Amino acid sequence: MEKKGSVLMLRYEVGKFLGQGTFAKVYHARNLITGDSVAIKVIDKDRILKVGMTEQIKREISVMRLLSHPNIVELHEVMATKSKIYFVMEHVKGGELFNKVSTGKLREDVARKYFQQLVRAIDYCHSRGVCHRDLKPENLLLDEQGNLKVSDFGLSALADSRRQDGLLHTTCGTPAYVAPEVISRRGYDGFKADVWSCGVILFVLLAGYLPFRDSNLMELYKKIGKAEVKFPNWLAPGAKRLLKRIFDPNPNTRVSTEKIMKSSWFRKGLQLQDEEKESVDEETEVEVETSANASAEKEKNRCRNLNAFEIISLSTGFDLSGLFEKGEEKEEMRFTSNREASEITEKLVEIGKELKMKVRKKEQEWRVTMSAEATVVEAEVFEIAPSYHMVVLKKSGGDAAEYKRVMKESIRPALIDIVLAWH
């Protein structure tokens, strides 16, 4: 694998060495079938096992397979041998955003464009239940067109990483970019912490230096905790107002990604793009007018499609624990159904109520959460093809033994009339 010109898995011709991290090396490669350029991240399995990083690697794979967005580095596939794990990813050729700001501040319109792409990508991550937790210019790449791509989800967290208090408790991230609540070690909302980091990045893009600086780490943390920041006099009033809302030391009142995207400073420049898109849509409106209303209603009632990689990833043959060890039992069950997604979720809600569980339904994401004192079961519906769905039921909290008992004795038997097959 280390040699240029070698062929990996009969599919990728390995090219030049691109870079190295603590546990991985990255190479340029070419897909022998399509001719496309990719980046291959090579992880040494023995080193990962020795330092106890197995769960982190599994989480990174789980997170990246959930995400598909123009401003997020795409994971094409994961392969493994006895000694190595290979992440085959989109090759982003423009380098790190850090290189752009290492020489000084950017023009306001350029900084705003990068910030718009960053916030839209992070808002998308949050909608999928993912928080990044290590946002900084070094983890933001640029493609050949100068578009931003969020990378390095090694410290990310999924919704089921939270404890029963609904908060995350792992202190991680780069000191100058972390939110005050992360430092306090009393638990934090990962989504709100990501917003703070986005604010630090915006400040760096506009000012050319960090908002919170001190050679003494404890003094730095004190400044972050008090949100002590001095704004340069060249900062536009709109940017300054937005940064003040982001640098709120109280996460409960800190602005959200949704509200950031509605702010006038953020919207500048985007309005023209949206108007151009609307004008294109108007040109084709007459052609699709007859079917528009029906298709719009149908689309509103559809759940998220699974792409080919996700379908493979959900299969038992791609159980991530097999990348590291065998015999680990997953607290997750899946079944396929030819019923409509709305009918499936209604059935799950009905079952939860019959079991006297607290039921919460998120229709936009086609998720149902059933909570009892001893266990929490989360179900999500995915579309594989029209009128053909896969439902994933997993323990998202509580006791594993109780989860298995409830699934075996109550939930599985109650689903018999809508299940095609269990997987």
Kindly give, in sequence order, each residue whose CB lies less than 8 Å from that of residue 336, ignoring residues fewer than 6 positions away: 384, 388, 389, 390, 391, 419, 420, 421, 423
Q: In degrees rounded to 5, what are phi and psi of residue 143?
A: -85, -175
Q: What is the CA radius of gyration of the chain?
A: 23
Neighbours of 313 (CB within 10 A): 20
Q: In degrees rounded to 5, what are phi and psi of residue 217?
A: -60, -40
Q: Is 134 annotated in the active site?
A: yes
The vertex-14 CA angle with 9 and 15, nearest 5°, equals 170
Q: Exposed, middle or buried: residue 394 (CB in 10 Å: 0-12, 13-18, 19+)? A: middle
Nearest Cα residue to 121 out of 68, 63, 196, 71: 71
- Whether 45 has a binding-site annotation, put simply, is no
Looking at the DSSP bridge assignments, the partners of residue 131 are 157
d(CA 4, CA 392): 41
Tracing tokens 């004795």 back to the chain, one arrives at 409
Q: Of 134, 152, 194, 248, which is the active-site residue?
A: 134
d(CA 351, CA 418): 12
Nearest Cα residue to 243 out of 203, 214, 282: 203
Look at residue 88 and give its three-state secondary structure. Answer: strand
Catalytic residues: 134
Residue set of the binding site for ATP: 50
Residue set of the binding site: 50
